[in-house]
Amino acid sequence: MTVIYQKTKGLQDTPLHYCPGCGHGIVHKLIGEVLEELGLLDTTVGICPVGCAVFAGSYFSCDCIEAAHGRAPAVATGVKRTHPDQCVFTYQGDGDLASIGTAEIVHAAMRGEKITTIFINNAIYGMTGGQMAPTTLVGQRATTAPLGRDPAQAGWPIRMAEMLSTLEGLVYAERVCVVDIPRLNKAKKAIKRAFELQMAGKGFTFVEVLSPCPTNWGMEPLEANQWLMEHMAAYYPLGVVKDTGGVTG
């Protein structure tokens, strides 16, 4: 008997608490698979966010640290600077990374911290119940934008991958999604490259994942993926935003 597909050793056996069709579980799996394939599970420290992924430390099969809301890049800096040989990544949502933790992510990228940040952009606050995020699309409804996001009142959604790519310290930024297998494979490749560049000591690496939140978008999972491709991918273009990392390995 040969195994065609089984759950990665990069994840623990704890059942995930995420809602049906949520992108977090898929991205967790991709990170776990990449860490397992690169042989990094024994030398990785993951920094978990506040938000829906607050329990991520109980899911990843590596040492983890739970950070305060938005502070994961600062916490990661403390770990990586004192353990330069270890692999360090942060896993952050849009409220965590693009709102309360904007300073921390910008300056970690500015310093060229040799860490990897996986940014889950689902255009909404999930854990707290569907409030407007900095990434919420214009017109998109949220519990704190009941009539839809109005730029006159709330400004325009922020494109983090592009913004961070203006910084020299960032060597790699790609925006991906996980709505189908080709795109999922691309996402995994991006995550892998980010970790490889980190371990080659190149600099700060960033993967933004457009991710569905069926519950707070008020949609069925399949409908959410369609909406993501039609609306989110239109405003947040998929693909490599910056890659100055060169060859690794």
Partner 1 sequence: MAIHLHFDRDLCKGCQLCISLCPKHILALDSAPNTKGYRPACCTDEAACIGCASCAKICPDSVITITKD
Partner 2 sequence: MQKREIWKGSEAIAEAAIRAGCRCFFGYPITPQNEIPEYMSRMLPQAGGVFVQAESELAAINMVYGAAASGVRAMTSSSSPGISLKQEGISYLVGAQLPAVIVNVMRGGPGLGSIQPSQGDYYQATRGGGNGDYRTVTLAPATLQEAVDLMQDAFDIADTYRNPVMVLADGLIGQMMEPIVWQDRPGRSLPPKTWAAEGRRGRTHNNFVTSLYIGAEECEEHNLELNRKYAAMEANECRWEELMTEDAQLILVAFGTPARVAETAMRNLRQEGWNVGLLRPITLWPFPTARIRELAGKSHVKAFLDVEMNLGQMLDDVNLAVNGQRPVHFYGRCGGAVPHVSEVEQAAQKVLEEVQ
Instruction: State the residues that interact with partner 1 by CB under 8 A.
Output: 1-8, 11, 15-16, 18-26, 29, 178, 180-181, 184, 214, 220-222, 225
Closest contact distance (angstroms) between CB of 144 and partner 1 is 27
C-alpha span between 77 and 104 (Å, rounded): 10
- Tell me: does residue 228 bind partner 2 (CB under 8 A): no
222 binds, among partner 1, partner 2, none (CB under 5 to 8 A by kind): partner 1
191 binds, among partner 1, partner 2, none (CB under 5 to 8 A by kind): none
Member of 81, 168, 180, 244 binding partner 2 (CB under 8 A): 81
Binding track over 22-61 against partner 2, x by CB under 8 A: -------------------xxxxx-xx-----xx-xx-xx
Beta bridge partners of 87: 44
Closest contact distance (angstroms) between CB of 209 and partner 1 is 13
Of 79 and 176, nearer to partner 1 (C-beta) is 176
23 binds, among partner 2, partner 1, none (CB under 5 to 8 A by kind): partner 1
Of 18 and 206, nearer to partner 1 (C-beta) is 18
Single out the residue of 198, 242, 241, 196 nearest to residue 34, CA to CA. 196
Member of 19, 38, 68, 219 binding partner 2 (CB under 8 A): 68
C-alpha distances in angstroms, 14 versus 9, 56, 137?
12, 10, 33
Single out the residue of 118, 74, 55 nearest to residue 92, CA to CA. 118
Single out the residue of 151, 191, 179 nearest to residue 38, CA to CA. 191
- Tell me: does residue 116 bind partner 2 (CB under 8 A): no
Helix (H, G, I), strand (E, B) or coil at 91: strand
- Sequence letter at residue 176: V
C-alpha span between 207 and 214 (Å, rounded): 21
Those residues whose C-beta lies under 8 Å from the C-beta of residue 85, and which sit 6 or more positions away, are: 43
Number of residues that bind partner 2 (CB under 8 A): 38
Are residues 32 and 76 in contact, defined by beta-carbon separation less than 8 angstroms?
Answer: no
C-alpha span between 234 and 74 (Å, rounded): 31
Are residues 121 and 236 in contact, defined by beta-carbon separation less than 8 angstroms?
Answer: yes
14 binds, among partner 1, partner 2, none (CB under 5 to 8 A by kind): none
Member of 25, 36, 38, 78 binding partner 2 (CB under 8 A): 78
- Tell me: does residue 107 bind partner 2 (CB under 8 A): yes
Structure tokens at 181: 């297998």
Residue written as token pair 């255009």: 123
Helix (H, G, I), strand (E, B) or coil at 10: coil
- Tell me: does residue 109 bind partner 2 (CB under 8 A): no
Closest contact distance (angstroms) between CB of 90 and partner 2 is 10
Chain residues binding partner 2 by CB under 8 A are: 12, 41-45, 47-48, 54-55, 57-58, 60-68, 71, 74-79, 81-83, 86-87, 103-104, 106-107, 111
